[in-house]
Structure 1
Amino acid sequence: MQRFADLLDGLVTMPSRNGKLRLIEDYLAHAPDPDRGYGLAALTGELDLGTAKPKAIRELAEARCDPVLFYLSYDYVGDLAETLALMWQGPEDTPEDPPPLWEVIDTLMAAPRTRIPELLAGWLDRLDATGRWALLKLITSGLRVGVSGRLARTAFAGWAGLPLNDVEEAWPCVQPPYEPLFAWAAGGPKPEVRDMPAFRPFMLANPLEETDMPALDPADYAVEWKWDGIRVQVARRFGETRIFARSGDDITHAFPDVVEAADFDGALDGELLVMDASGEPAPFNHLQQRLNRKTVSAAMLRKYPAFVRAYDLLQDGPEDLREHPFRHRRKRLEALFGTPRDRFDLSPLIPLNDWSRMAELRDEARARGMEGLMLKRWDSVYVPGRPKGPWFKWKRDPLTVDAVLLYAQRGHGKRSSFYSDYTFGVWRDDELVPVGKAYFGFTDEELRQIDRWVRANTTDRFGPVRAVTPGLVFEVAFDSVHPSPRHKSGLAMRFPRISRIRWDKPHAEADRLETLLKLVEAAPAADGG
């Protein structure tokens, strides 16, 4: 456990990607089995420990610490794990050795939730402050250390000397603590994926710039809509179906309706969408109701039925098609999905071969409920990553509004000392109502300026959050806005980010809710252009 704690402590303060890779690789080289496998699983979010509720952690703190001092400290620090790790009163006699990571994880997986406080107290007594902090982060699923699942897999591939694409394919086929992967790294056989519904690293598109166009012949490209859902692979072999997100995460459990309807043998690349009452793709916020759920109720399945719009075929039965040109893969895809089936249909191609008409359609994308256009070379093979030239995405322009900063929250990692997460609002009659939250789009110097402004204009504190005097205006860029009963304003933005800071603009002149209401998107048009 202590070695894992040292890894987390190093990652949270390491700003560079290469530095994080080195830290993970060093952990893999020196941590024993099965700790290193469990450590990787924790970083990739693939451990299901049941987790402890913050309320249980606070009750544990009240039993071992002065409650008044604890809550004053928590209000100042803003992080529950960090506060309790520093204030925990352990036994006066010499504690036992720190528990190994495998002991913590195996015990948590087998223990009922009622025993977690007792177990946690015993482990906290055996750890130093860094170990306590790491344990609390692990048990509350709070590992925000700047490491994505792909970065962790990249570190494993680098340490093992294995091709990253091969690691990406094999990863979903094994379970923590990944014994077959470590055996492979030691010179053993690669985990067999041929006869399994395995993940294949996605091929990605580059943004299309106007400067690219003179060098490109539109006739060389197939054109289709960029659908407003999420990119997925659906793989099915020998009756087993799995759905993978672009990150490689397995999201099968969240879409049982799609799994049940899958009746092909192979792997396809497509867009996961929700169907409206007319059978057409619904706005993205309908799909959002289905995402990141461990279980999906029958009512949710009825209200937000999911389906996949297929646009590439990667495997047909046992045959890998990725080395074939897109034209060939498309014909094979049409043979499978040319006739729509339950929960699956085919993304139509748009017969275009000149830039002017493409530009007109791209400008119509928002009205049609699309993100823009996709261009794919007819002769392109399917390769992982983002190669320059074969595929392009031509997205619609973002929307913008001027909104007022309402709340600021401390960040994480290298931003933990700054108020870097911002909730902003617009005017509804004479009050400001929240419409979104953003934490990027500004420079480091602008972050320091905003942080100083927040500290100088704080009106109230709620743990790590500060309410501020209305006064600072942000120009906020966002992709779309949708109705949302969970927000006071009744609206929710998609992909909001700070476009610029309007130091010059009085907050009374910020936009009104009526402006955003006019931008709410309707369901897309039915025809394909």
Structure 2
Amino acid sequence: MNRFAALLDRLAYEPGRNAKIRLMADYFRATPDPERGLALAALTGALSFANAKPGLIRALIMERTDPVLFAMSYDYVGDLSETVALMWPAPPAAGRPDRAPLLSEIVGALADLPKRDLPTQLAAWLDGLDDTGRWALLKLITGSLRVGASARLAKTAVAALGDLPPDAVELVWPGLAPPYLDLFAWVEGRAGRPETDDPAPFRPVMLAHAVEPGDFGTLDPADFAAEWKWDGIRIQAVAGRAADGDRVVRLYSRTGEDMSAAFPDLCEALDFDGALDGELLVRREGRVQSFNLLQQRLNRKAVTPRLLKEFPAHMRAYDLLVEDGEDLRELPYAARRDRLATLVMRLASPRLDLSPEVPFANWTTLAAARADPAAAGAGVDSEAVEGLMLKRRDSLYLPGRPKGPWWKWKRDPHTVDAVLMYAQRGHGKRSSFYSDYTFGVWTAGAEGEVLVPVGKAYFGFTDAELKEIDRFVRANTVNRFGPVREVLHTPDQGLVLEVAFEGLARSTRHRSGVAMRFPRIARLRWDKPPREADRLEQLEALLREG
């Protein structure tokens, strides 16, 4: 565990991408199985522990320190794992364990240990580790490493052990499981490429880069096809036959999470053998519904007949990856598209249709289509369009986000000028800054004009702007509610934020009655007094417009 803790500590302070890859590759090269495989699982988010909750950690530390001191320290540090690691009282030398636990011992125990025994065991582990080891252990069990190393970066480090391209590891990854003995044997040349016998496996999805105005000068419109970018959830539908002949159909999220149980209506309708890439939507009465209605079906382990009837699932297909056992990902996009159109026509399912291409002669005409989807062929579904996808006609289907083949050109976001009301510390590298913000707009109240919260945001600003807001929060705190600070907000005093967002929905969880989708801070409006911020009535009007 100490070696894994040292790796996490180095990664947290190392800013360079290539240096992070070297750190992880050196660790994987020098660490034996199964320790390195479990470290890889932790770095890629493949480990979870049902009974290890933050509340348990808080209870353990407050039994050993003054609760008020812990609350003050946690408020200052802003990170639970770091606070507990620093405050944990080291036991007398005579009472310490002889050695630090191995990572494999911890993972195995957390998987098998009864819930009632977990507090005692966790305390024993914390007693046997130093500050860094305790921090790493708590990060591990709470599932929030936040050390600046993505799953893709960790897989790239594994590929470096055998001088393989990162995509080679990405392609075999969905069929693997911790501690990845077959993966390390393959990259080190001790065994063949891992293969899966799963009849309906997930394939890594291909993602797009956001196109900027300056990019169009380097792109030839004749090389690209365009299609609508729908406001749903990216999914992969895979169907095949098990060894006993049973038909297997699965729906995966773009990260490989199995969503099949929540969408039995769609699974039953997909009578084919292969893998489709597309968008999960709710389509009712011949029209794609809002994302808010789709949310009624998401994250459910089971669905009721009422949900199936009121929110019927639909797949709008983008691409065909596999058909009747033939892998099509090495074919050009145009060829895959032709095969996809033929398949969708043959299936003739009301639950599946083909995402239409958008005809255009040049970037100017495509910009006009983006501005007015209804007039460019989207018809009654135009409100569900969030932009355009541009795909090179000769592009292969590659894992990850290669720059060049695919681009996304989202519609311009909505903006609102809102007043900062509350702030909270961030996590990881932002634990020293107030970086999570709640903001509101004006509306008429019983005693005059009042601010009502309409959203929260924790990104969109630059590092310099973060420091500006942090200084303002610290200098203008008027109240505290645990880790949350209430910030001065009157018609004459406060900070106005320009907030960008993708859309609005009705909400019963917010006092304003509206909820923003993907809000982020676009800029700071130091030039604008709070009284000139926008009103709830403006958001209500936008909501009514669709």
TM-score by length of 1: 0.89
Q: How does 1:259-408 map to 2 (within 5 A)?
A: 259-275=267-283, 277-291=284-298, 293=299, 295-298=301-304, 304-338=311-345, 339-341=347-349, 343-353=351-361, 355-365=363-373, 368-386=383-401, 390-408=405-423
Q: Which residue in the other structure is 2:377 paired with?
A: none
The answer on 1:457 being equivalent to 2:476 is yes
The match for 2:145 is: 143
- The C-alpha deviation readout for 1:388-430, integer Å capped at 9, x for no partner, is 6544433211111101112222223332222222221112322
Is the 1:242–1:252 contact (alpha carbons within 8 Å) kept by the matching residues of 2? yes
Q: Deviations over 1:103-136 (max 9, x none)?
A: 1111111123232222212211211222222222
Q: Which residue of 2 aligns with 1:527?
A: none
- 1:369/1:522 contact within 8 Å kept: no
SS at match of 2:372: helix
In the alignment, is the contact (CA less than 8 A) between 1:243 and 1:251 conserved in 2?
yes
* Deviation readout 1:205-260 (Å, 9 max, x if unpaired): 44455556577665554332111123232233324444444445555565455444
For 2:32, what is the secondary structure of its paired residue? Answer: coil
Hey, what does 2:167 align to over in structure 1? Answer: 165
Q: Please say which of residues 41-50 and 375-384 is displaced more in the overlay.
A: 375-384
**After the TM superposition, which of the residue ranges 313-322 and 346-355 deviates more from structure 2?**
346-355
Q: In structure 2, the residue corresponding to 1:192 is in which secondary structure?
A: coil
Alpha-carbon RMSD across the aligned residues, in angstroms, is: 2.8
**Do the aligned partners of residues 55 and 355 (structure 1) sit closer, same or farther apart at CA in structure 2, a change above 3 Å counting?**
closer
Q: Distance in 2 between matches of 1:262 and 1:98?
A: 52
Provide the C-alpha distance between the structure 2 equivalents of 1:159 and 1:51, rounded to a whole number of angstroms: 35
1:107-122 correspondence runs (5 A): 107-122=109-124
Q: Which moved more, 1:331-340 or 1:246-255?
A: 246-255
Structure 1 distance, partners of 2:15, 2:426, is 14
Which residue is equivalent to 2:464? 445
Q: Quick check: 491-500 or 342-351, which moved more?
A: 342-351
1:455-485 Cα distance to aligned partner (Å, 9 max, x none): 1111233444322112011111122222222
Matching residue's letter, 1:91: P
Instruction: Give yes or no for the alignment of 1:520 onto 2:539.
Output: no
Contact 2:392 2:406 in 1 (8 A): yes
* Aligned partner letter, 2:72: L
Distance 2:218 2:465 in 1: 38
Q: How does 1:246-261 map to 2 (within 5 A)?
A: 246-248=254-256, 251-252=259-260, 255-261=263-269
Give the Cα separation in 2 of the matches to 1:437 and 1:206. Answer: 25
Matched letter for residue 479 of structure 2: D
Q: Decide whether the 8 Å contact of 1:426 with 1:432 is kept in 2.
A: yes
Alignment partners' CA distance in 2, 1:47 and 1:468: 38
Could you report, residue by residue, the CA deviation over 1:47-93 in whole angstroms, capped at 9, with x for unpaired residues? 13104233222222222222232223223323222222222234322
Where 1:309 maps in the other structure, the secondary structure is strand
Instruction: Give 1:313's aligned amino acid.
Output: L
Cα gap change, 1:313/1:4 in structure 2, threshold over 3 Å: closer, same or farther? same
Query: Which fold has the larger relative contact order, with Cα–Cα distance below 8 Å and residues 6 or more apart in sequence?
Result: 1
Any idea what SS the aligned residue of 2:370 has? helix
AA of the residue aligned to 2:89? Q
| Structure 2 contact 174–204 (Cα < 8 Å) conserved | no
Q: Matches of 1:431 and 1:211 in 2, distance apart?
A: 42
Q: Provide closer, same or farther for how the CA distance between residues 206 and 295 of structure 1 changes in structure 2, counting only shifts above 3 A.
A: same
Most deviating of 172-181 and 108-117:
108-117
Task: Please name the residue that 2:378 is paired with.
Answer: none
Q: Which amino acid aligns with 2:332?
A: P
The one-character-per-residue Cα deviations of 1:275-295 (angstroms, maximum 9, x if unpaired) are 3x325322223334555x373
Alignment partners' CA distance in 1, 2:166 and 2:219: 31
Which moves more between the two structures, 95-104 or 154-163? 154-163
Distance 2:26 2:544 in 1: 49
C-alpha change, 1:412 and 1:477, in structure 2 (3 Å) is same
Paired residue type of 2:14? M
Mapping for residues 169-208 of structure 1, pairs under 5 Å: 169-187=171-189, 188-193=191-196, 196-208=199-211
**Amino acid paired to 1:405:** L
**1:503 aligned residue:** 526
Aligned partners of 2:77 and 2:431 also within 8 Å: no
Per-residue CA distance 1:347-381 (angstroms, 9 max, x = gap): 12344445554333211249532012223344443
CA contact (8 A) 2:249 2:267 kept: yes
Change (3 A) 1:26 1:467: farther
* CA pair 163-351 structure 1, distance change in 2 beyond 3 A: same
- Which segments of 5 or more consecutive residues in structure 1 lack a partner in the other structure? 524-529
- Please give the alpha-carbon distance, in whole angstroms, between the structure 2 residues aligned to 1:410 and 1:237: 48
